[in-house]
């Protein structure tokens, strides 16, 4: 039995009880989690109490919160029935968004059968070699849909909202499905308070620390040996933005990360590399520009100049879309509040 208690906010609050049956007792145990920790997470978020009575779970709270609790429990149980695990991030996703919501009418999935299949029932799943990736907020869901639907998509918002992670996941998915022949990941090698010249080693050694978040994302989606082989064959490339000059990137999925640190000329250079059969994802955080004072951010200029073009999607995230530690969202909100005062 979950240990948290429901405390009515006033004497006028009418509590409702909504019961739901889960026939498989083994799956029910997994649903509850060790020491009912999964139930405790749901209770804390929704302000309800969950009681276990045999193979029933009873949600107690306001009528709306009790119903929402049951909806979340059912969605998680369905996940277990499909042979998948329920982890903290999966619970967080179900709490954040209605998994049965319809796909927005303004979004059209890409032309691949796998992409069309992925949007059935309003659910979005990105298949990679090592894991299935699912958006955890409505903004993330719309972003992933646009990555598949548009040849050029921007993801703009604060740290921790999954902009780059999801873009790399979509790149890997399209690559293993054969929709693109290679993946190219890039970042501006802009110094954020530290000087590249003081780092030890040759140029690759100096640049690699800036590219590490891209390596980390790829390692989440591809087995180590396969990733090493693909990089050796140049079918997956990770390179600084300056190395893109003069290239035509055809039949590739190209991701530009930390785009707020690209200058206007660099951004124009990068965007005009787009070749036949390619996709581009541009991600950035306008609040973390590390360019020298007086140098315009290419990301801001791209928003201003390209936002009217219908074939280009702009997707925006806020602190509510942060999927790292809950404190990250509060930290971002605190800094944003300070900037407005």
pLDDT digits (tens, 9 = 90+) for 199-258: 555 555 666 777 888 899 999 999 999 999 999 999 999 888 888 888 888 999 999 999
Instruction: Write out pLDDT tens, residues 246-256.
Output: 888 899 999 99
Phi, psi (rounded to 5 degrees) for 6: -90, 125
Same domain, 88 and 167: no
The CA-atom distances, in angstroms, between 7 and each of 1, 45, 58, 69, 115 are 17, 14, 16, 16, 45
Q: Is 105 a member of any domain?
A: no
- 3-state SS, residue 59: strand
Are residues 139 and 269 located together in one domain of the fold? yes
In a domain, 238, yes or no: yes
- Give, in degrees to the nearest 5, the angle at Cα 119 between 316 and 258: 30
**pLDDT at 299 (0 to 100):** 95
Compute the distance between CA of residue 180 and CA of residue 132 in angstroms, rounded to an integer: 19
Specify if 165 maps to a domain: yes
- At 252 the three-state DSSP class reads strand
How far are the Cα atoms of 89, 319, 336 from residue 341, in angstroms, in the given order?
Answer: 34, 18, 9
Specify the pTM: 0.74
How many residues would you count in the chain?
341
- The answer to whether residues 252 and 199 touch, using CB atoms and an 8 Å cutoff, is no
- CA dihedral sign, ordered 147, 149, 150, 151: positive
- Considering the domain architecture, whether residues 117 and 254 belong to the same structural domain is answered as yes
CATH code, domain carrying 156: 3.40.50.300
Alpha-carbon span 217 to 167, nearest angstrom: 10
Give rounded-to-5 percent helix, strand, coil for the chain.
45, 15, 35
Residues 182 and 262 occupy one common structural domain = yes
- pLDDT tens digits in sequence order for the chain, 341 residues long: 333 344 444 455 678 889 999 999 999 999 998 889 999 989 888 889 999 888 899 999 988 888 989 998 998 888 888 888 888 888 887 887 654 443 333 333 344 444 444 454 467 889 999 888 889 888 999 999 999 999 999 999 998 899 999 999 999 999 999 999 999 999 887 654 444 555 555 555 666 777 888 899 999 999 999 999 999 999 999 888 888 888 888 999 999 999 999 999 999 999 999 999 999 999 999 988 888 888 999 999 999 999 999 899 999 998 888 887 667 777 877 877 777 66
Q: Name residue 58's beta-bridge partners.
A: 19, 51
Residue 101 included in any domain: no
**Are 109 and 115 spatial neighbours (Cβ–Cβ below 8 Å)?**
yes
Same domain? For 64 and 148 the reply is no
Q: Which of 298, 321, 325, 326 is nearest to 142 (CA)?
A: 321
Q: Is 268 exposed, middle or buried (0-12, 13-18, 19+ CB in 10 A)?
A: middle
Q: How many domains does the chain have?
A: 2
Q: Could you list the residue range(s) of the whole structural domain that residue 40 is in?
A: 16-96
pLDDT of residue 79: 84
- 9 inside domain: no
Domain ends where: 96, 125, 153?
Answer: 96
Claim to verify: residue 34 and residue 176 sit in the same structural domain: no
- The pair of structure tokens assigned to 258 is 């930390």
Query: Helix 138-149 vs helix 163-176: angle between axes, to the nearest 10 degrees?
Result: 40
pLDDT for the residue 232: 92
> Is residue 7 a part of any domain in this protein?
no
Same domain, 128 and 216: yes
What does each C-alpha distance from 196 to 95, 203, 217 come to in angstroms?
Answer: 43, 9, 23
What pLDDT score was predicted for residue 243? 84
- Does residue 141 form part of some domain? yes
H or E, element range at 165: helix 163-176
pLDDT in the model for residue 90: 83
């Amino acid at each position: 039995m979950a240990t948290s208690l429901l405390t009515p906010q006033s004497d006028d609050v009418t509590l409702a009880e909504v019961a739901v049956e889960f026939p498989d007792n083994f799956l029910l145990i997994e649903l509850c989690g060790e020491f009912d920790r999964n139930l405790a997470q749901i209770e804390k978020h929704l302000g309800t109490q969950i009681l276990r009575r045999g193979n029933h779970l009873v949600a107690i709270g306001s009528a709306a919160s009790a119903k929402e609790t049951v909806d979340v429990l059912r969605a998680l149980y369905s996940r277990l029935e499909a042979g998948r695990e329920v982890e903290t991030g999966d619970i967080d996703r179900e709490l954040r968004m209605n998994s049965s919501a319809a796909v927005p009418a303004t979004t059209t999935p890409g032309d691949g059968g796998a992409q069309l299949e992925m949007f059935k029932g309003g659910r979005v799943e990105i298949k990679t070699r090592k894991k299935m990736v699912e958006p955890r907020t409505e903004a993330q869901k719309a972003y992933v849909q646009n990555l598949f639907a548009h040849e050029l998509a921007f993801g703009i918002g604060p740290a921790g909202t999954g902009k780059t992670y999801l873009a790399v996941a979509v790149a890997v998915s399209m690559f293993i499905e054969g929709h693109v022949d290679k993946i190219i990941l890039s970042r501006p090698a802009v110094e954020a308070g530290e000087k590249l010249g003081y780092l030890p080693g040759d140029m690759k050694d100096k640049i690699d620390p800036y590219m590490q978040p891209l390596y980390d994302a790829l390692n989440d989606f591809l087995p180590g040996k396969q990733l090493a082989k693909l990089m050796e064959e140049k079918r997956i490339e990770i390179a600084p933005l300056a190395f893109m000059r003069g290239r035509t990137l055809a039949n590739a999925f190209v991701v530009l990360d930390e785009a707020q640190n690209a200058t206007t000329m660099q951004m124009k250079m990068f965007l005009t590399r787009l070749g036949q059969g390619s996709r581009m994802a541009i991600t950035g955080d306008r609040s973390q520009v590390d360019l020298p004072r007086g140098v315009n951010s290419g990301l801001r200029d791209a928003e201003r100049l390209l936002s009217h073009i219908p074939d280009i999607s702009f997707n925006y995230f806020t602190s509510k879309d942060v999927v790292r530690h809950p404190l990250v969202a509060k930290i971002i909100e605190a800094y944003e509040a300070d900037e407005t005062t």
